[in-house]
Amino acid sequence: MSIAIGDTLKHRKVHAVIDCTAINFSRRRYGGKGGTTYTWCDAFIDEDWVSLGDPWPCIRPKNTEIVTALQNTTLSMSNANT
């Protein structure tokens, strides 16, 4: 299956494709105007959206940080299945 930015998978938009994995960003600003924006990332793994953990205090996390979170999440999922 080919995934592209802008595609919709299970009612969520693909905002990035990192390591051949669809990524969705959700953002929320805390502290009003001038406050900090936090970004949550979800990855489309095994036909479902999976959280990559705690939010990042930025608009767009670095790809390297997302890759690390993705690796940790998939490792946790494989350990849970063994």
Does residue 2 carry a pLDDT above 70? yes
User: 3 lies in a domain?
Assistant: no
- The count of structural domains within the chain is 1
Q: Is the pLDDT of residue 82 over 70?
A: no
DSSP reduced 3-state for 80 = helix
Has residue 1 been placed in a domain? no
Q: State pLDDT tens for residues 16-73.
A: 999 999 999 999 999 888 899 999 999 999 999 999 999 999 999 999 999 999 999 9
- pLDDT score for 78: 79
Q: Which residue has the tokens 């299945």?
A: 81
Residue 2 within a domain: no
Q: Which residue range is the domain that position 62 belongs to?
A: 8-80
Tell me if 36 is assigned to some domain: yes
d(CA 3, CA 15): 11
